[in-house]
Chain A
């Protein structure tokens, strides 16, 4: 067990208000209903499964598991009916993909398909993130493009003007010596539209974990919890239970 130390300015308590997914308000007939099968699976805190790389079997995911994209994607030619033939009737109405710059190569009209990675020989369905329908792909081998984009996306992402989380404290801007202080991160989802390898890519940046550095060499995290504001009448109360889940060495736990 690590020795409990205290900060020179007094003890601080972090608050971690864990949001409980709201069930539908029985009285509020106009409150939205989370109705989809997948949507409920994401929202209700049900079991999550991953493929165990060693055994190849599906096992429950560990508690702090951050999900990867569960899907695989491919681009089918817009008018393709099977591997070898095209639907001739479809061709006249096919999406036109002229070159994007003078002297450039024209694109190919494709329909993106999606299927879960976890299923062998899955059935593919149309991928419809924002509306649907065919799109133009400007690459000779469409199937090679997505991995290329995926490889580029992390480095390109680091150059995006992402607004960092802001640190909030209650009370603020000053706290009293010996008094409890609620510290939390204020981070928001941010969206960007960028062009990678000639393809327009929409990126949604979602904060998933937080690390708090206290300036005295101590830190907390990474933790999935940002914490959150609490009503003023509760400022003086310690929120020990939540805090001790993360066992920060700087703070005393009961």
Chain B
């Protein structure tokens, strides 16, 4: 039996296909060099009570995990419900995220992160997965050279604009081999939304700025 009638796919046309362009390279790239970002580590501007390190900090490399990574400590300034307070808190929160990348320990980060922050949760899960089965992360440190808070008295949850610069990230297997292709360094504007309660600041949303 033949179909009595048919709608041929030919009668449908695709009208338009809009396209996004990405400009990704210019000129000659003839001299490869390190792909790490050029930003160096800098201490927080405010007086941060950093614990006295008992042994020297050593970043991770292909041979082993980072050693003696200083645990971020919430600065006094970050406990204030003010513009300066939320800015100090945002800097601290990214330090805690950076610490999680370097150590696989997301507990510090969790303490100041709300459960509904989609990106925060995804990052915690990704870091945890990257550190399973004896794997470790090389790089991934985050610097926040620019932090600008928007705070209004009694005006809801303040938003903070953060420039987050992250180093190239390698995931190394227990035997030191690369688990996957390295993730490129990034330099991105991000928006962090925090809320203040009796327990201090908590991140309730985080997203990229386009």
A-side residues, CB < 8 A to B, are 7, 9-10, 12, 23-24, 29, 32-51, 57-58, 60-61, 65-71, 95, 97, 107, 110, 112, 114-126, 128-137, 146, 149-150, 153-154, 157, 162, 164-165, 167-169, 172-177, 181, 183, 185, 187, 199-215, 219, 221-222
Quick one: which of B149-176 are within 8 Å of A by CB? 150, 159, 161, 163-166, 169, 171
Residue numbers in B under 8 Å from A214 (CB-CB): 11-12
| A181 in complex: contacting residue of B7, B31, B122, CB < 8 Å | B7
B12, B148, B150: most-surrounded residue (chain A CB, <10 A) = B12
- Give chain B nearest CB distance to A45 CB in angstroms: 7
Task: Specify the chain B residue showing the minimal Cβ separation from A117.
Answer: B189
Asked whether any CB of chain A lies closer than 8 Å to the CB of B23, the reply is yes
Total number of B residues with any Cβ neighbor in A under 8 Å: 81
Residue numbers in A under 8 Å from B19 (CB-CB): 157, 162, 205-208
Q: Fill in one digit per residue for B5-47: 1 if any A CB lies within 8 Å of its CB, else 0.
A: 1111101111111111111111111111111011100000000
A29, A123, A214: most-surrounded residue (chain B CB, <10 A) = A123
Q: Are B123 and A40 in contact (CB-based, < 8 A)?
A: yes
Q: Are A125 and B16 in contact (CB-based, < 8 A)?
A: no
A to B contact number (C-beta, < 8 Å): 293
Q: Are B32 and A70 in contact (CB-based, < 8 A)?
A: no
* Assembly CA distance A46 to B116 (angstroms): 10
* Assembly CA distance A50 to B190 (angstroms): 10
* Assembly CA distance A12 to B6 (angstroms): 12
Q: Are A168 and B137 in contact (CB-based, < 8 A)?
A: no
Task: Specify the chain B residue showing the minimal Cβ separation from A39.
Answer: B183
* Assembly CA distance A240 to B164 (angstroms): 42
Q: Are A36 and B15 in contact (CB-based, < 8 A)?
A: no
User: Which of B58-66, B73-81, B107-115, B138-146 forms part of the interface with chain A?
Assistant: B138-146
